[in-house]
Amino acid sequence: MKVADPLPPGSRVGILGGGQLARMLSLAAARLGIDCHIYAPEAHSPAFAVSAARTIAAYDDFAALEGFARAVDVVTYEFENVPGDTAGFLDRFVPVAPGVAALKTAQDRIAEKTFIDGLGIPVAPFAEVSDTATLERALSRIGTPAVLKTRRFGYDGKGQTKIHPGADPDAAFAEIGRQPAILEGFVAFEKEISVIAARSWSGEVAVYDVPENHHEHHILKTSTVPASIPADVAEKARGFGGRIIAALDYVGVIGVEMFVAGGDVVVNEIAPRVHNSGHWTMDACHVSQFEQHIRAICGWPLGAPDRHSDVVMTNLLGDEIGRWCELAAEPAVHIHLYGKAEARRGRKMGHFNRLTPRQP
Ligand code: AMP
């Protein structure tokens, strides 16, 4: 189903998932007079405190899903591991954005890489792996070092292992739980960047500036905008983002993670949702990725993605949340906390954007 006419203020957006991304979507929607209804299995979800309505139920509780679908005007999600059956079921009652086809492509690393490669956009060499024998064949074609990743459900470096020259393939396959997998050639990248783009139901596309991303222990730590890359490389990355979102017939905000290697841009993966490396847009742009997503899925005109400031976004992980008071005292810092009670190690508790005047 599609949203034909712009949903007026007072409409309801349903969000699958109740974490910080849903929370920030809900806050952005509220500014536009749109209410959010969160659907999540966890009784203490960060998004509940700032949303108009909630359903606490499992993602395969079809009676609860139907009640949720009937109570909202459009459904979206804050994480990519929504079961395909769930999204497909909801789509019988209410528009779902991004759509089920885009979701399925992004959920499976083989489908994702095949799709991007088919657009003529560079990806790491890759091969499908189903057992140790196919892994050995893939290694003899792709070589080492290489990265073995589960086809599905990987995030923040989980479900993947690097294979060094001479390593035992069977041990590597055991390490990722002997699950259906993908072998990728290791990209000796100079930088990690990403592109945050949005597309409306009518096909209008808006692409933000390119952040440079630094990870610690596989978790995003900072996004710096502008990235220190040549302008033509940034334009190429933005162009790839725009082509991917259009070819997916996608509605909403997408995050496309990329490597810069040898001055070229190689696409790593697609996140079919608002993205942590787009949090800087909340304070350095007039229209944040969260407002942009709500605009896109509700059939509103997209906002200009223009950036008015230079910015570094820093995630507050685990007990770094303890810096809140010191950070709140800095005039150029905009702080966003997610209302999570327990500061477990590596857990995303909040982030802050430090702005500086935009350099020409
Ligand atoms: P992913 O789960 O695909 O986002 O990978 C997590 C991180 O692992 C990336 O941000 C990279 O730092 C690294 N990585 C993933 N795939 C590759 C690759 N093919 N070559 C080099 N590094 C990789």
Task: Mark whether 216 and 179 lie in a shared domain.
Answer: no
Confirm if 290 and 27 have CB atoms less than 8 A apart: yes
Find the mean pLDDT for residues 194-207.
98
- Mean pLDDT across the chain: 97
pLDDT digits (tens, 9 = 90+) for 205-254: 999 999 999 999 999 999 999 999 999 999 999 999 999 999 999 999 99
Q: Does residue 4 lie within any of the structural domains?
A: no
Task: Mark whether 201 and 326 lie in a shared domain.
Answer: yes
pLDDT digits (tens, 9 = 90+) for 64-77: 999 999 999 999 99
| Token duo for residue 302 | 């997209």
Task: Mark whether 212 and 249 lie in a shared domain.
Answer: yes
Q: Is 154 in the pocket of ligand 1 (CB under 6 A)?
A: yes
Q: Does residue 174 lie within any of the structural domains?
A: yes
pLDDT digits (tens, 9 = 90+) for 267-312: 999 999 999 999 999 999 999 999 999 999 999 999 999 999 999 9
Task: Mark whether 155 and 51 lie in a shared domain.
Answer: no
Q: Does residue 107 lie within any of the structural domains?
A: no
Span from the CA of 17 to the centroid of ligand 1 (angstroms): 25
What is the rounded distance in angstroms from the CA atom of residue 97 to the CA atom of residue 252? Answer: 6
- Counted domains in the chain: 3
Task: Mark whether 277 and 141 lie in a shared domain.
Answer: no
Q: Does residue 104 lie within any of the structural domains?
A: no
What number does the ligand 1 atom closest to the CA of 159 have? Answer: 2
- pLDDT at position 154, please? 73
What number does the ligand 1 atom closest to the CA of 160 have? Answer: 2
131's CB contacts (< 8 A; 6+ apart) are 173, 178
Confirm if 116 and 244 have CB atoms less than 8 A apart: yes
Show the domain range for 296. 191-357
Q: Does residue 221 lie within any of the structural domains?
A: yes
Task: Mark whether 73 and 137 lie in a shared domain.
Answer: no
Span from the CA of 268 to the centroid of ligand 1 (angstroms): 7
Span from the CA of 170 to the centroid of ligand 1 (angstroms): 21
Span from the CA of 272 to the centroid of ligand 1 (angstroms): 17
Q: Does residue 69 lie within any of the structural domains?
A: yes
